[in-house]
Each structure stands twice: as structure tokens, then as C-alpha cells.
Amino acid sequence: MSRVMVAMSGGVDSSVAAALMIDAGHEVVGVTLRLWGGESDSGCCAVSDVDDARRVADTLGIDHHVFNMSEEFDQHVVEPYVAAHAAGLTPNPCLECNRHIKFDLLHRRVEALGFERLATGHHARVVQTAAGVYRMARAVDAAKDQSYVLHMLGQEQLAVLDLPVGEMTKDEVRQRAATLDLRTATKPDSQDVCFITQQHGRQDFLRQRISLTPGRVVDADGKELGKIESVEMVTIGQRKGVATVGGADPRYAIAIDVPSATVTVGSAADLLVKVTPVKDFTWAEKPFTGPVLAQISAHGQPMEAELVGNEVRWAQRQRRVAPGQAVVFYDGDQVIGGAIAG
């Protein structure tokens, strides 16, 4: 059996993941990452989450440690999040936390401390093809599947990764936690960005770090229709806040130009495109060109497409993808790679 480091966020999934690795006979140590040093009332970075993880580790009879990675979190997640908004992009900070912190820095810490494997509570599965290639695959519980936000993992990370709750439904996870009398058994799932508080919200967070620019709203012909409080707060496809006078039909943001402080709006039909440009590819094994199933949000439906160069060509017209968001490529239920919409 292996020496396994279990990343324990203080939630029920990682709690049960640790228990399952113990049941499998592994030598298990729990680790919690201290990431965000500021105010938090949501997500997975509150002080109470560290305490919950420690108490679960005590219940399971395993050692528990806290790694302070707040400086790296600021550098790789928070600062790029702010910079992306300033550029009119729509970032995904949880995805970048996985990319840079949990499966890069922590992965390297696993190796440096002599552990053989890393386990987390993500709802996804690691599978191996007949050719011996590791791939991320969808979880048994489709409603909780997190393969989209883990699409960037390559062979080195996948080869040593265990995702034990990926084989279970969420109800089964909670039942197992209750049976073990774990304090996290009924704890609600974290839903929000950990460094954005519910009390103050995204706009207040950004306003403290960048100047928010009032802008104008125009139609596709450049005709000005109204004003908007902050162009940096708008995302492609947004309707709320860009509703303007004139015309009864709903309007949606279809383009954002921060330098000119202009948001272009159009109809629902104007949101649909045949091609989505992408960049910054990552692959489970090697680059791929050809037919894929492409998914444009964490819980969106995979759609038939063809990957040609830096373009995703949709079989049927799809909603525009906000620049900065991930497009993830699947072969059936297995991730083959992903990219960022440009």
C-alpha cells in the first residue's frame, strides 16, 4: 500500500475521500491548504474549514497538517482574476487554483515529502486506456461532476491521483460520512469564489483593487442605447444591467471593449456563433485535431464540434463563450484536453 496525502478542504467530500483511502489500507495524512488570508464567508477558505478538516482527521485517527500557500494563491489566482476583469475577460479562479495550486504546488509538495500518491474529494474519476494512457473521466454522479475544472491535468499528475468519491453519488458520500460520525456529514457544499464574500460581492472586491470604468451600451451599428456603471463587470451573454431603452426584445452583451469603455448588445440570436476561437491548450496526453464533444461551462451540456487549429467549430450554433472561460474537450466521458476562449 501507498503513503497518501489527502487534500482536506473541510468539506464532506474530502472527509470521505480520506476515510476511503484509510479503508483501502493506505498510510494516510491529511493536509489543508491555507489559501486566502482575507475575509471569507463562502467557498472553502474560511477559518472554520481548517478546523473542520482537523477535527475530521482526529475522528479518523490520522495526522493533519496545514500548508500556508496564501502568497502563491495571491500570485496565481487572485491577481490574475483582477487583471482579467480589468481587461474585460471572464476568469475562472477555481480552475486556476486547481491548475497552479492544488495540482502543481501541492503535487510537488507530495513528491518532496516522500508521499507516493495524492487524493482529493473531487467528483471525477481517473481511468486508464488500453494503451496505458491516464485520463480524467466524468464522475458517477453526473450532477456533481467536476471533470471540467480538472481538465488541465496531464499524465504526471493523473498517474498518482486518487479520486475515491468519484465512484459515489453525493447522497452516498453523505451517508458514509454520517455512518462514520464525521462533523462534515451535513455541511453544505461550497458554491462561490472563496475570496468574494456574499456580503460585499464581486464589484466591491474589484473596486478596492482596480478603477471601475463607466461605459456606454451600443447596438451592432454603434448606436448608443444607454450607459453602464462599470464595463469591467460585464460578461458575454449577460442581460442584467445591460437592458436598455428602445425595443421590446431582450438584449444581451455580445462584445466588450474595455479601452473604449463600450459594451455591444444584441438579440438572443446574435449570441449564437458557429466558431469559437481558443488558445492556451492543455492535453491529457498529446494534441488532438478532429471531432470532439466540447463543454463550455462546469455543468453545461457537451456539444458536438470539430477542433481545427485554434478554432472550435460547432456542429450547431452555440452561445458565445466569454473570453477567459474554458472550453473542455471530451471523447465520450473522458477528458482529452481543454483551452481558453480568446
Any domain includes 116: yes
What was the pLDDT predicted at 241? 80
Any domain includes 143: no
Question: For residue 283, what are the β-bridge partners?
Answer: 337
> What is the percent of the chain where pLDDT is above 90?
87
Whether the predicted pLDDT of 105 surpasses 80: yes
Q: Which range, of 70-84, 95-109, 192-206, 261-275, averages the lowest pLDDT?
A: 192-206
Of 231, 248, 267, the one marking the end of a domain is 267
pLDDT category of residue 242 using cuts at 50, 70 and 90: confident
Give residue-wise pLDDT tens across range 8-24.
999 999 999 999 999 99
| Co-location of 30 and 80 in the same domain | yes
Instruction: Name the pTM for this structure.
Output: 0.93
| Co-location of 169 and 41 in the same domain | yes
CA–CA gap between residue 230 and residue 258 (Å, rounded)? 10
| Co-location of 248 and 304 in the same domain | no
Any domain includes 150: no
Query: Helix H segments across the chain?
Result: 12-23, 47-60, 70-73, 79-86, 93-97, 106-112, 155-158, 170-179, 201-207
| Co-location of 96 and 219 in the same domain | no
Q: Are the beta carbons of 182 and 22 closer than 8 angstroms?
A: no
| Co-location of 31 and 109 in the same domain | yes
| Co-location of 32 and 69 in the same domain | yes
What was the pLDDT predicted at 39? 64
| Co-location of 53 and 72 in the same domain | yes
| Co-location of 336 and 260 in the same domain | no
Q: What total number of domains does the chain contain?
A: 3
Among residues 44, 45, 94, 97, the one annotated as catalytic is: 97
| Co-location of 225 and 99 in the same domain | no
Domain of 232 in residue numbering reads as 211-267
Whether the predicted pLDDT of 192 surpasses 80: no
**Would residue 97 show up in a list of annotated catalytic residues for this protein?**
yes
pLDDT category of residue 211 using cuts at 50, 70 and 90: very high
**Would residue 194 show up in a list of annotated catalytic residues for this protein?**
yes
Q: Which range, of 102-116, 135-149, 178-192, 279-293, averages the lowest pLDDT?
A: 178-192
Average pLDDT over residues 182-186: 95
| Co-location of 47 and 91 in the same domain | yes
Residue 48's domain is classified under what CATH number? 3.40.50.620
Residue 256's domain is classified under what CATH number? 2.30.30
Measured over the CA atoms of residue 282, residue 232, residue 207 and residue 205, the dihedral's sign is negative
DSSP state of 156: H
| Co-location of 281 and 259 in the same domain | no
Whether the predicted pLDDT of 206 surpasses 90: yes
